[in-house]
Chains A and B, each alone.
Chain A
Amino acid sequence: QQQVKQSPQSLIVQKGGISIINCAYENTAFDYFPWYQQFPGKGPALLIAIRPDVSEKKEGRFTISFNKSAKQFSLHIMDSQPGDSATYFCAASSGAGSYQLTFGKGTKLSVIP
């Protein structure tokens, strides 16, 4: 199975709060897990990515947590800001031949003042 399941579909967070988006995958061959951020009218932009040899990766206010045994990974946005309001996509790919990304359905995040 090539699916990546993402939840929630939409999320409303107060400014300064923590936004958490979860993804689960089935294909154990996946070895690269990026998150993309998309603003209306723009293409998805690579935000942060992780490989399964680490359980967590942090870049500024953005953190990926990865649970290989559960086949789950999540994006945490600390101190969420109105400028973070966008649609977030998790994705996964396998380096064993293709590098093509399989995307989750997306989470529309709204950060309210």
Chain B
Amino acid sequence: DAGVIQSPRHEVTEMGQEVTLRCKPISGHDYLFWYRQTMMRGLELLIYFNNNVPIDDSGMPEDRFSAKMPNASFSTLKIQPSEPRDSAVYFCASSLAPSGGAFFGPGTRLTVL
């Protein structure tokens, strides 16, 4: 298996622009997580899905953030409009309950100028 796939790997955009991050989880995994990593706050869970259904989005910082999972093999995290404080590395991870172990993708490094 190729593991969790994320695209793009790097994104540089200007404040106010829309940003869409993409994720393909490991086939067969029924949980998908979006995390954000910054030096100040570490790894923060933004939202997670179970069987394509959003379960907990309490970590989404603002209404500017939205996430979808239209099918078992694809998820998006959208930021609209983006702000400089959104600059971070965004990770997608998937897991197969009840093992509990999440497998992370390589991340998308987002820079908002």
Nearest CB of A to B67, in Å: 14
**If the complex has contacts A46-B102, A46-B103, A95-B100, are A100 and B91 also in contact, measured as CB distance less than 8 A?**
no
Chain A residues touching B, range = 20 to 34
User: Known contacts A100-B33, A106-B42; is A49 also within 8 Å of B104 by CB?
Assistant: no
B104 and A100 form a contact (CB under 8 A) = no
A-side contacts of B43, CB under 8 Å: 44, 89, 103, 106
Report which of B42, B55, B97 forms a contact with A105, defined as CB distance below 8 A. Answer: B42
Main secondary structure on chain B at its contact with chain A?
strand
For window 82-99 of A, CB contacts with B under 8 Å fall at 89, 93, 95, 98-99
In addition to A89-B43, A101-B33, 15 A-B residue pairs with Cβ atoms within 8 Å of each other are A32-B100, A42-B106, A43-B91, A43-B104, A46-B101, A46-B103, A95-B98, A98-B55, A99-B102, A100-B33, A100-B45, A100-B48, A100-B56, A103-B43, A105-B42
A interface residue numbers (CB < 8 A to B):
32, 34, 36, 42-46, 49, 89, 93, 95, 98-106
Using a CB–CB cutoff of 8 Å, the interface residues on chain B facing chain A are 4, 31, 33, 42-43, 45, 48, 55-56, 91, 93, 95, 97-98, 100-107
